[in-house]
Structure 1
Amino acid sequence: IASVVKDMESELGPGNAYPDLLPKLARFELALMRFYEANLGSRKHGVFANKCWPAFENAFGFVPCYVNSRMAGKGIPISCEVDIYGALSEYICQLATDRPATLLDINNTVPPDMTAEIKDMAGAAPADLFMGFHCGNTPCCHLERCAIKYQLIMHRLMEDPSKPPDITRGTLEGRLKPGPATFFRLQGTTDNKLTSYAAEGSILDVDPRSFGAIGVFAIPNFARFYRHVLIGKRFPHHGAVAFAHAGKALFDAVKLLGVDDINTPKPAGVLYEGENPFE
């Protein structure tokens, strides 16, 4: 436990806001690693799809986000909220880029007062911008000035918000480093088929002005893609993020898996199935 705590301290640096919490987190990380090693069987690699809230906090006394981020950094993705296909999608992104991946919510649009300050939208329109967010499962290597903090929303719901956080501590927060990125997901449908999407874009050098592990994403033609593919085909709000332009490798990978329905953003003037041509 002491050696894991020391490694956490080194990784967090000045972002180590809760030194007293690290031994608990280290114990949990070691338990996960032992479970992983004991249950691989004949396999060489594995992933986790864990339930991270709300029962976890009352049972363990912290949130698992920072430990999840460290496991992802070791090449063992842990998806949030028991998202099995999310964990698999993260792992595929990791293999496509040879770098740790993460899982983020396609969370919200970017308000006009922020878009007005963005000089380069990397080929996207203001309507295509969105914030990719999660509580704190993204590895430190992809964050600027990462810090261990607490889950703001859980603190309001699960604790007395007038008191300092306790069981809701343990997120890893920071702004995503700007650069190329690919949102990707492999998903099973209700009629037992596999479907997928891949959308290349950029993480912008913009302050999201919010909490969590978060960044502003610019994916050209994403607004229509979101409406007609992600919503139209009932994809979950979780997406795996590869920190590179990995569309070519991801497309080939899901083709090899036998997936026929592979979705990508269409340029203006090229309609999606069912899209109204008079809009």
Structure 2
Amino acid sequence: MSSFQVAYIPIGVPTFHLESANDQFKKSVDMMQTLTNNGVYPEKPLLTIDDLKLFLKEINPDLIVLQNNTFANSAYASEVLRAFDCPILLWTLREPVIDGGRLRLNSLTGAYSAGNVMHHLGREKFEYIFGAPTEEKVIAKINATIRAAEVKKSLRFLNVAAVGQTPQGFGFGRALDAEVAKAFGANLESIEARELMLKAKTYKKEEYEDVLAEARTKMVGLDKLPEGNVDAFARLYKAYKEFIDSKNIKALASRCWPDYFVEYGTPVCAVLGMLNDINIAASCESDLFGAISMYIGVELSGGPTFFGDPVSLDEEDNTVTFWHCGTAACSLARKDTGSEMGVHPNRKIGPTMEFGCKPADEVTIFRVGRKPDGQFRFFISTGEALDVPKQFCGTSVVIKPDTNAAELVNKSVKDGWEPHFVVIYANVAEELETLAKLLDMEVCKY
């Protein structure tokens, strides 16, 4: 994948107050350089069409921050639109001084000119922000747009894997390679679960001792489980890692029950937990769109996400508990317990992860959902992860949303959302909303 590039393009004309324009230019560049190492900037504001054309020849952006450094007529924006079809954030500067004297910048009128021509050229889906480069809302918006554009580009180079088919009644997670490519730009790899089981059985002990040693450094109580199951887990983890490395996989949706219990004798849960711990987004029950949701969360937060079912509502505490059988990343475990190991709550075979997840002041509940017409939508809700112990056998996290929990549950059930959600350990709601717009997907905030 080529390096991500965000281009700052400050347009204007030389007939306004150049001292103010240059001051805003310098402050804008300084601010953006705190947000990204992948920015490209002109040496000065682009105050003629010729200067603009020269700068456009030097860049190859994945995102454009188009700023009216002063007023500029629509010809400036038209040049940018003809040169590139990447996402655009249009930025209007606040007038630096209102004192009854000269209009220093007239940036806002320039924004209207740019917005008008964008609509006429079919580029009406642009992002917009008004304000000075020192304002927190401006910094937050530009940062969110950069992060979202980075993820959009990374999705185009994502290899996501489907290991086996969805179980009966779990078709919501099934995906076609064509729709994954069309909607996200990603490439879908497929392999049958039995292929990885067979591969796992071929290893000699010395071939998987390294992954077993890795697991022992992260897992609490692994060696208390039957040796045969621990051995089978390590073999399977080795097989998954080799497959992932060979195909450069960054997200994976794996079949789990009944195959791994019946045919292999050991669950895949802990394998997926270990993969999540190294930021390979790994969902169970073959939920491909769950895996893509996890991948987006990993990219935006820089760490593992939690994947689970909403299993409990407490109206009095205003909380929703998310749970699954035991696939959470070891690093999400509470510090007082660590990533304890146990057996699957229904099948009584291990290893599976067995812990409550760590607390966090800010989390985001997220899901890429598919609508009946085949289009996609984003579920976005914010809250906090509470400091509470494990709620059920398996792994769990209790979320107190910023909105009413009962209303969240009632509305999301009636709106037809899938039963799997992702908890991202950061507030990335604005980044997700921007990403949805960049992907032309519906935003559903709860």
Tell me the TM-score range normalised by the shorter chain. Answer: 0.7 to 0.9
Q: Verify: 1:174 aligned to 2:381, yes or no.
A: no
Aligned partners of 2:368 and 2:379 also within 8 Å: yes
Q: CA deviation at 1:56?
A: 1.8
**Which structure is larger by alpha-carbon Rg, 1 or 2?**
2
Deviation string, structure 1 residues 123-148 (Cα, Å, up to 9, x no partner): xx626312110111111111122211
The CA deviation string for residues 41-73 of structure 1, in whole angstroms up to 9 with x for no partner, is xxxx53111111012211111111111011111
Question: How many residue pairs are counted as aligned between the two chains?
Answer: 233
The answer to whether structure 1 residue 86 and structure 2 residue 293 are counterparts is no
Q: Does 1:236 align with 2:418?
A: yes
1:97 paired to 2:269: no
Question: CA separation in 2, counterparts of 1:247 and 1:177?
Answer: 20
Unaligned runs of 5+ in 2: 1-207
Aligned-pair identity in percent equals 22
The residue number in structure 2 matching 1:221 is 404
Kindly indicate whether residue 424 of structure 2 is the aligned counterpart of residue 251 of structure 1.
no
Quick check: 56-65 or 217-226, which moved more? 217-226
Q: Distance in 1 between matches of 2:375 and 2:277?
A: 31
1:184 and 1:80 map into 2 onto residues whose CA distance is 16
Partner of 1:271: none
Preserved contact between residue 15 and residue 146 of structure 1 (Cα < 8 Å): no
Q: CA deviation at 1:201?
A: 0.6
Shift in CA distance, 26/198, structure 1 to aligned 2, threshold 3 Å: same
Aligned to 1:268: none
Alignment match, 1:276: none
* Contact persistence 1:66–1:170 (CA under 8 A): yes
Alignment of 1:142-153 (within 5 A): 142-144=332-334, 145-153=338-346
Cα drift, residue 19 of structure 1? 6.1
In the alignment, what sits opposite 2:328? 138
Alignment check: 8 A CA contact 1:16 1:147 kept? no
Which residue of structure 1 aligns with residue 230 of structure 2? 22
Q: Is the 8 A contact 1:8 1:22 kept in 2?
A: no
Q: What is the CA–CA distance in structure 2 between the aligned matches of 1:30 and 1:143, rounded to whole Å?
A: 23
- 3-state SS of paired residue (1:66): helix
Change (3 A) 1:178 1:15: farther
Q: Distance in 2 between matches of 1:264 and 1:17?
A: 44
Q: Which amino acid aligns with 2:430?
A: K
Structure 1 segment 102-121 matched on structure 2, within 5 A: 102-110=306-314
Q: Deviations over 1:142-187 (max 9, x none)?
A: 11222111111233xxxxxxxxxxxx21211101101122110011
* Distance apart, 1:208 and its partner CA: 4.4
Structure with the higher helix share, 1 or 2: 2
Query: 2:303 is paired with a residue of what secondary structure?
Result: coil
Q: Is there any run of 5+ residues in structure 1 with no aligned partner, and where?
A: 111-124, 156-167, 266-279
Query: Does residue 1:31 correspond to 2:239, yes or no?
Result: yes
Residues 258-273 of structure 1 correspond to what in structure 2 (within 5 A)? 258-259=440-441, 261-265=442-446
Residues 246 and 16 from structure 1, CA distance in 2 versus in 1: closer, same or farther, beyond 3 angstroms?
Answer: farther
Cα–Cα, structure 1 residues 182 and 9, in superposed 2: closer, same or farther, change >3 Å?
Answer: same
Question: Quick one: distance in 2 between partners of 1:16 and 1:264?
Answer: 44
Amino acid at match of 2:306: T
Mapped partners of 1:208, 1:36: distance in 2? 31
Structure-2 change in CA distance of 1:24 and 1:237 (3 Å):
same
**CA displacement, residues 14-47 of structure 1 (integer Å, 9 cap, x when unaligned):** 464326133211111111122122234xxxx531
Question: RMSD of the TM alignment (CA)?
Answer: 1.7
The alignment partner of 2:389 has SS state of coil
Higher relative contact order (CA 8 A, sep 6+): 1
Q: Please give the alpha-carbon distance, in whole angstroms, between the structure 2 residues aligned to 1:19 and 1:9.
A: 14
Distance 1:207 1:26 in 2: 28
Change beyond 3 A, Cα 1:51–1:192: same
Find out whether 1:61 has 2:265 as its counterpart: yes
Secondary structure of the equivalent of 2:224?
coil
Structure 2 equivalent of residue 275 of structure 1: none
Structure 1 stretches of at least 4 aligned residues deviating more than 4 Å after TM superposition: none
- Contact (CA 8 Å) 2:357, 2:390: kept in 1 or not? no
2:346 corresponds to which letter in structure 1? I
Matched-pair contact (CA < 8 Å) for 1:131–1:208 = no
Q: C-alpha separation between the residues in 1 aligned to 2:390 and 2:365? A: 18
Amino acid at match of 1:188: R
Q: Secondary structure at the match of 1:49?
A: strand
Q: 1:206-234: CA deviations, max 9, x gaps? A: 23442211122110323212212x21221
SS of 2:373's partner is coil
Return the TM-score normalized by structure 2: 0.50
